[in-house]
C-alpha cells in the first residue's frame, strides 16, 4: 500500500503580504478604558471575579463588574430571596457583600495576578457620603479600571427615594462622585422611571463618563396557596430574557440622548442578543442572569459574538454601535 501523501508544506507569505487575517477586531473603549471584547460580566452575578478563575478565561471577555461594594459589610436580605420566573428570575439579595476594605485586602491582590482581569468596581451606598467613602477607599487601590455607580439604592437622607428615580438626587450623586473619583465613572441607571432619556442626560450633565442600563425591574410574585409574597423582601428585581425588549428600547433612547458611552444589559443569553443591544446604541454589553444557568455564559457569548461578526463581514465590532435602521 502506498504511503499517504504528505501534508503540503505551508507557503510562506510573499513580501508585502500579511499572514492569514486574525478575524474581526473586537476591541472597544469606554471612557478611555480599552476592552478586548464588548462583553462584560455584570455585577452581582460574577462574585468578585476570583471565584471564576477555574471556570472561564478572563482574558476572553472584556471585563467584569464586582459585586456591589459598600462602606461596611452587609449580610443582605433573608431567604427566600431568589426565585425562577417563566423567562428569567426575581431576586432581592439585598446587596450582600464583604465591604470595600475587605475586598481591597482579600480579593484585589489575587485579581491583579489573573491574566486579563479588567476590573470594574461596583459602588453603592444609602447616602452620597457612603458612596464617596467607598470611592475614596478604592481610589488608592491598584488594579481597578473604572467604577460603576449603582443609582438604584434608596437615598435614606431624603426619605428613601431611590437616587436613580429622582433627577435632582441623581445629579448630585453622580456629580459628587465624579469629583472625587480618580478613575472613569459609569452610572448604572434604574429602569423604574418615566423617562430614561432624562436620567441619561442628568448623568452626562453631572460629568459621568459613561452610563449602564438597565438594572432590574421592580416586581412582585405571590404564592397563591399561602397568599404571601414568594420573596421575603416582598418585592424583588426582575431580570432575564423577559425584560430584553424593554431594555433594548431604553438603551436606544438613552444612546440618542447623550454622547457618552452606553453599556446595555437586560436578558442577554446569546451573541445575537448582544448584537441587538449594540445596534440599538450600546458600546458594550453586560451579561448577568445567564451566568446563573451557565457559569461560562459570558465567555461563550464573547466567543460567539466574534464568530457572528466574522460570518457577517463585520471587521470591527464598533461598527455595530448605533447601526440599526430605525
pLDDT digits (tens, 9 = 90+) for 263-286: 999 999 999 999 999 999 999 999
**Under 8 Å CB-to-CB from 318, ≥6 apart: which residues?**
25, 27, 28, 283
161/81: higher pLDDT? 81
Q: Which of 153, 177, 203, 309 is catalytic?
A: 153
Q: Is 84 within a domain?
A: no
pTM of the model: 0.91
Q: Is 12 within a domain?
A: no
Active site residue 153: yes
CA-wise closest residue to 31 among 264, 255, 259, 209? 209
Q: Total domain count for the chain? A: 1
Coil, helix or strand for 307? helix
118: containing domain: 28-76+95-218+240-320
pLDDT digits (tens, 9 = 90+) for 63-114: 999 999 999 999 989 999 999 999 999 999 988 999 999 999 999 999 999 9
- Supply angle C-alpha 186, 255, 90, rounded to 5: 65
Mean pLDDT of 46-71: 92
- Burial group, residue 2, by CB count within 10 angstroms (0-12, 13-18, 19+): exposed
Q: Is 157 within a domain?
A: yes
Mean pLDDT of 234-238: 94
CATH number at residue 305: 3.20.20.70
pLDDT digits (tens, 9 = 90+) for 106-159: 999 999 999 888 999 999 999 999 999 999 999 999 999 999 999 988 777 766
The answer to whether 92 and 237 are in contact (CB under 8 A) is yes
Amino acid at each position: 500500500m502506498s504511503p499517504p501523501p504528505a501534508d503540503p508544506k505551508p507557503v510562506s507569505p510573499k513580501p508585502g503580504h500579511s499572514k492569514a487575517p486574525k478575524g474581526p477586531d473586537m476591541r472597544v473603549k469606554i471612557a478611555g478604558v480599552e476592552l478586548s471584547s464588548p462583553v462584560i460580566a455584570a455585577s452581582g452575578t460574577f462574585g468578585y471575579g476570583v471565584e471564576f478563575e477555574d471556570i472561564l478565561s478572563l482574558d476572553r471577555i472584556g471585563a467584569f463588574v464586582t459585586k456591589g461594594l459598600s462602606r461596611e459589610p452587609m449580610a443582605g436580605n433573608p431567604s427566600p430571596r431568589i426565585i425562577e420566573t417563566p423567562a428569567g428570575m426575581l431576586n432581592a439579595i439585598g446587596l450582600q457583600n464583604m465591604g470595600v476594605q475587605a475586598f481591597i485586602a482579600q480579593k484585589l491582590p489575587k485579581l491583579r495576578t489573573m491574566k486579563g482581569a479588567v476590573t470594574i468596581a461596583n459602588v453603592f451606598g444609602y447616602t452620597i457620603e457612603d458612596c464617596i467613602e467607598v470611592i475614596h477607599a478604592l481610589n488608592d487601590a491598584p488594579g481597578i479600571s473604572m467604577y460603576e455607580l449603582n443609582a438604584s439604592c434608596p437615598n435614606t437622607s431624603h426619605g428613601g427615594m431611590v437616587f436613580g428615580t429622582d433627577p435632582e438626587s441623581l445629579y448630585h450623586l453622580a456629580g459628587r462622585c465624579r469629583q472625587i473619583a480618580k478613575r472613569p465613572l459609569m452610572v448604572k441607571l434604574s429602569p423604574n422611571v418615566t423617562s430614561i432619556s432624562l436620567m441619561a442626560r442628568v448623568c452626562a450633565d453631572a460629568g459621568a463618563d459613561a452610563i449602564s442600563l438597565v438594572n432590574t425591574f421592580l416586581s412582585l410574585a405571590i404564592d397563591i396557596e399561602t397568599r404571601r409574597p414568594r420573596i421575603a423582601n416582598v418585592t424583588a428585581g426582575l431580570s432575564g430574557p423577559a425584560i430584553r425588549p424593554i431594555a433594548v428600547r431604553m438603551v436606544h433612547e438613552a444612546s440618542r440622548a447623550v454622547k457618552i458611552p452606553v453599556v446595555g444589559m437586560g436578558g442577554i443569553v446569546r451573541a445575537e442578543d448582544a448584537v441587538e443591544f449594540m445596534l440599538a446604541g450600546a458600546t458594550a454589553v453586560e451579561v448577568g442572569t445567564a451566568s446563573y444557568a451557565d457559569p461560562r455564559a459570558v465567555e461563550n457569548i464573547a466567543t460567539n459574538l466574534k464568530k457572528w461578526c466574522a460570518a457577517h463581514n463585520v471587521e470591527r465590532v464598533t461598527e455595530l454601535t448605533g447601526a440599526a435602521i430605525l
